[in-house]
Amino acid sequence: MSNLFKRVWQNPLTMTYVALVLLIIIAWEAHAFLSLALFTVIFIYLGDAAIMGIEHHFHVHHLWSTLLVYVLFLAILVAAFAQIIPPLVSEASNLPNAIDKLIETYPQLQTELTRLIKNLSQNASVISNGKTLLTSGMGQLSRFSSGVETILLAFFFSFIFNLTKNQLKTFVHAFTKSRFAGLFVPMGQLILKFVHIFGTVIETQLIICTINTILMVLGLWIIGMPSLLILGIMIFFLGLIPVAGVLISLIPLTIVAFLTGGLIRVVAVLVLVILIHMFESYFLHPRLMANATNLPIFVTFITLIISERIFGAWGLIVGVPLVAFFLEVFDVQLKPHRITSEQE
C-alpha span between 293 and 1 (Å, rounded): 42
Q: Taking a C-beta distance cutoff of 8 angstroms, is the pair 286, 297 a contact?
A: yes
Collect contacts of 262-270 with beta carbons under 8 A, ≥24 apart.
262/102, 265/223, 265/224, 265/225, 268/223, 269/220, 269/223, 269/225
Give domain status of residue 126, yes or no. no
341 inside domain: no
Q: Is the pLDDT of residue 218 over 90?
A: yes
Residue 340 covered by a domain: no
Query: Could you report the per-residue pLDDT of 184-201, keeping only the tens digit for each?
Result: 888 888 988 888 888 888
Residue 182 within a domain: yes
> For residue 125, is it within any domain?
no
Q: Which domain holds residue 266?
A: 2-109+135-329
What pLDDT, in 10s, does the model give residues 128-138?
555 554 455 44
Answering whether pTM is above 0.75, one says: no
Number of domains in the chain: 1
- Smallest CA-to-CA distance from 208 within 272, 277, 279, 280 is with 280
| Average pLDDT for 59-80 | 85
Residue 119 in domain: no
Give percent of the chain above pLDDT 70: 72
Residue 129 lies in a domain: no
Q: What is 136-201 written as a DSSP string?
A: HHHHHHHHHHHHHHHHHHHHHHHHHHHHTHHHHHHHHHHHTTSTTHHHHHHHHHHHHHHHHHHHHH
pLDDT band at residue 338 under the 50/70/90 scheme: very low
184 occurs within a structural domain: yes
